[in-house]
Structure 1
């Protein structure tokens, strides 16, 4: 992962690049403020992967 400051938009934003895939996501101030206010438990639950039942039995 690589984090960088992107100044090409209307306002500065945080860019995060996955070095393996080259995929980039941008986070503006409003989105970052929202993420900071979300409880850790909610973020952990939202990021948790679910395994389909067919694969659980393998």
Structure 2
């Protein structure tokens, strides 16, 4: 999982968006050096949600 400071989302939105889409992995955003948010591609999110629902039904 990639890690970036939260300010990067404002300055480099397109770059972070492209990283998420190409890698399929979430980007871990930090604020003041501590974890704050996870940003991920919508398709990767949908796949994870589907897998979680499938596991719940097993």
Question: TM-score, normalized by length of structure 2?
Answer: 0.29
Q: Is the radius of gyration larger for structure 1 or structure 2? A: 1
If asked which structure has higher relative contact order (CA below 8 Å, sep 6+), I would say 2
Q: Which has the higher helix share?
A: 2
Question: TM-score, normalized by length of structure 1?
Answer: 0.29
